[in-house]
Amino acid sequence: MAVISFLEEHRTWVLTGESCTYALRLDEDDVPTHVHWGPPLPEADVVELMESTLPWWDGFNDPNEGLGELAADGGTRYWTPALQVRFADGTRALEWRYADHDVTDGHLRLFFEDRHYPLRITLHYRLRGAVLERWTELGADTDVEVVRADSATWALPVFEDYRLSHVTGRWAAETQLHRSPVPHGETVFGSRRGITSHHANPWVMVDDGTATEGHGEVYGIALAWSGSWRLTTTRSSTGRLTVSGGFGQDGVVHRVGPGRPLTTPVAAGLYTDGGFGAASRAWHAYVLAHVLPHPDELRPVLYNSWEATGFDVTEAGQRALAERAAALGVELFVMDDGWFGARTGDHAGLGDWQVNRERFPDGLKPLVDAVHGLGMRFGIWVEPEMVNPDSDLHRAHPDWVLHHPHRRRSELRRQLVLNFARPDVAAWAHEWLDRLVGSQGIDFLKWDMNRPFSEAGWPGERDQDRLWVEHTRAVYALLDRLRADHPGLRIEACAGGGGRIDLGVLTRTDQVWTSDNTDALDRLRIQHGYGQVYPARAMSAWVTDNPNFVTARSVPLEFRFHVAMAGVLGLGGDIVHWPEDDLTLARELVALYKDIRPVVQHGALYRLRPPVDDGVTALQYVHGDRVVVFAYRQAAHFNAPERPLRLAGLDPAHRYLDPDSGVTHSGAVLLARGLPPGLPTGDFASRVVRLERVKI
């Protein structure tokens, strides 16, 4: 249970959650100032920490620099600013004045004003389990330009050294994990693309360079935002490190005024002393408990038609795929691109969301009914934020796209971006989506977004920069409204693969498409980086055909299944043409996945051996009395002997039964000495081991 205390004599607030204490105070100038973030501390120890702070500096080196809770620009504050404002008369410096505070149900609000100008700042703190959520609200009675408005500044303890963990990538190679020393000065991670992006993801973790998977202090910060964003680490010569982050990018100005407040997205912070593994498990628990809209559900096994048919979509072809999918045990059938307008390729029709009557003479309802009759739910692909120039929508409303006067409209994938910040565009999107879902009996939307912003202008609008924030918020609002109007609807977020994965989109979707790259070998590393913060419960993973359409690599079907079964299992191959042996194996593995699904989707993840080389990698899920181990040999070299996998998260006082072999194992032995993987010989060998705790 979260506890928030106010030490009035010291003007200090202490927040204590499941595994950490966070404390801040007001300094003599009313500036909200950091005191502690880390292991749980009693209030008396927090007071002792304040007494050790030295209010001295020599004019060049301020020992307290960087301790601002929201580092503001102005005066003698030279740290990376989290808040920069410009008033109507050109004044830029902010001077804090404390007004009041409020505590309600684990939520602390601190109210401030500028000492002269009518600017109001509210700092929010909310404890949810092991995670502290922070965000900022700005309001003003006259127009104020906000040059930068981060959600929070996070000050870390002074360590001997710092190491940074984060992910980078590109299309079809998302979420590649990197760990490296934190450079001195400012290091910026971010996206200027209007979406989260394939190239970086809005989270970082920091340790002192000695943390391992199972030991050591780790601090993590993650943004709940799906538009442009940035996280800045600042490391000074005095040893202090901060992480500041929020939405926005250089050159984009927010305008706050009467009736136009600004609220930043949540920046979530997490501390653990249990290493990277404990950090990931805490993030996963937070997402399941406080982020995902239907966390207790088991995500269904799905089939998606894209790789089987491409744009060559017909009712007969989709029925054939659906019948085969149902026979394999699939529970959700998803028809991808090509069902609407003149969409026979990527060159035309996007934006014209009417059923193509040449392909579906009687509309979609006969196919939807047939899929439902096979015992499956029906899903459909949409890309509401995009339009082809060759479309009826664009010909009727060329002003609806992002554009600048006298500048070309850059096309990527032969598409332009619709400006969802416009109320008429958002209303149009809601009308056809609401009609599609409601009239056709749609159970599931695969919501795609296949290109970043360009020429992000809004001719005729006085405050054009607001589209960078309002577009994303309009997408959020539309998703929220569809969910409210259609409680049974489930949604998958996609952006050309993993271009929109973050805590913001997960708040209103049920799963995310991790990458367009379904190559099982590459997916091991993509899924490894994804799982540092985000849970398997939301990680969509498909089994597709050989050779893989991205890498041209051929991998055994069992290996492909076993990799995809570590998340939300899907099938995406041309299953109508699979040989009978493959179909038989697929039915068996789908059945196996359904058995282990509660453990994978709701269990605690332990990374036993990461995919850092081309040898054996393994991971484990624990849920209640059940354990599932996935082991993969990527490549075999020099006839290397098989090393046992030391399991984790078990009860050493109990025994564990392998129901497939009938053998029981001591929990203490599995923890101390490990489990032989028992992998078949050769490359691309894999195995799934099920264990059940034996009642004593």
Last residue of a domain, one of 562, 578, 602: 602
Query: What pLDDT band is residue 74 in, cutting at 50, 70 and 90?
Result: confident
Task: Say if residue 218 is in the same domain as residue 257.
Answer: yes
- The alpha helices in 198-286, defined as continuous H runs, are 275-286
Q: At residue 227, what are phi and psi to the nearest 5 degrees?
A: -105, -155
36 inside domain: no
Number of domains in the chain: 3
Q: How high is the pLDDT of residue 170?
A: 97
Residue 579 structure tokens: 């040989």
- Say if residues 578 and 278 touch (Cβ distance below 8 Å): no
Report the alpha-carbon distance of residue 675 to residue 517 in Å, rounded.
31
Q: How many whole angstroms separate alpha carbon 193 and alpha carbon 301?
A: 32
Does residue 549 share a domain with residue 433? yes
Distance CA 50, CA 67 (A): 12
Paired sense of beta strands 163-168 and 685-693, if any:
unpaired
Over range 277-295, report the average pLDDT. Answer: 98
Q: 424 and 355 share a domain?
A: yes
Interval 511-546: pLDDT, tens: 999 999 999 999 999 999 999 999 999 999 999 999
The 10s digit of each residue's pLDDT in 304-325 is 999 999 999 999 999 999 999 9
- What is the gyration radius of the CA atoms in the chain, in angstroms? 26
For residue 415, what pLDDT is reported? 97
510 and 536 housed in the same domain:
yes
Query: Is residue 29 domain-resident?
Result: no
CA distances from 593 to 245, 560, 588, 601 (A): 39, 13, 9, 11
Q: pLDDT > 70: what percent of the chain?
A: 99
Answer whether residue 159 is part of any domain.
Answer: yes
Residue 633 clears pLDDT 60, i.e. is over it: yes
**pLDDT tens-digit series, residues 348-362:** 999 999 999 999 999
Residues annotated as part of the active site? 448, 516
- How much is the pLDDT for 604? 98
What is the model's pLDDT at position 404?
Answer: 96
Residues 237 and 196 occupy one common structural domain: yes
Residue 54 has what pLDDT?
55
Quick one: average pLDDT of 208-219?
A: 98
Full residue range of the structural domain in which residue 96 is found: 70-291
Q: What is the mean pLDDT of residues 67-78?
A: 91
Using a 10 angstrom Cβ sphere, with 0-12 exposed, 13-18 middle and 19 or more buried, the burial of residue 168 is middle
pLDDT tens track for 62-71: 777 889 999 9
Q: Which has the closest alpha carbon to 304: 171, 497, 476, 478?
A: 497
Q: Would 349 be classed as within a structural domain?
A: yes
| Residues whose CB is less than 8 angstroms from the CB of residue 487 and which lie 6 or more positions away in sequence, other chains included | none
Q: Tell me: the pLDDT tens digits for 502-512?
A: 999 999 999 99
Please indicate, yes or no, if residue 11 is contained in any of the structural domains. Answer: no
Domain boundary among 572, 587, 602: 602
Q: Does 55 fall in a domain?
A: no
568-600 tens-digit pLDDT: 999 999 999 999 999 999 999 999 999 999 999
The domain that holds 336 is classified in CATH as 3.20.20.70
Q: Which of 548, 569, 602 is the last residue of a domain?
A: 602
Q: Are 272 and 217 within 8 A, CB to CB?
A: yes
pLDDT per residue as tens digits for the range 288-308: 999 999 999 999 999 999 999
Mean pLDDT, rounded, for 115-136: 97
My answer on whether 258 and 329 are in the same domain is: no
Same domain, 239 and 287: yes
Mean pLDDT of 668-694: 96
Read off the CATH number of the domain in which 153 is found.
2.70.98.60
The b/e string for 360-392 (b: 16+ C-beta within 10 A; e otherwise) is: beeebeebbebbeebebbbbbbbbbbbbbbebb
388/485 same-domain check = yes
- Which residue reads 């979707």 in tokens? 509
Q: Which CATH number characterizes residue 682's domain?
A: 2.60.40.1180
Residues 285 and 394 in one domain: no
Gap between the Cα atoms of 693 and 655, Å rounded? 6
614 in the same domain as 465: no
**Predicted pLDDT at 2:** 83
* Judgement on whether residues 114 and 235 belong to the same structural domain of the protein: yes
The answer on pLDDT for 55 being more than 60 is no
d(CA 389, CA 613): 45
Q: Which residues are registered as beta bridge partners of 125?
A: 108, 134
> Three-state secondary structure along 62-120?
CCCCCCECCCECECCECCCCCEEEECCCCCCCCCEEEEEEEEECCEEEEEEEECCCCEE
- pLDDT above 90 for 75: no
Q: Would 390 be classed as within a structural domain?
A: yes
The answer as to whether 296 is a domain residue is: no
* Dihedral angle sign, alpha carbons of residues 499, 490, 383, 565: positive
User: Are 323 and 433 part of one and the same domain?
Assistant: yes
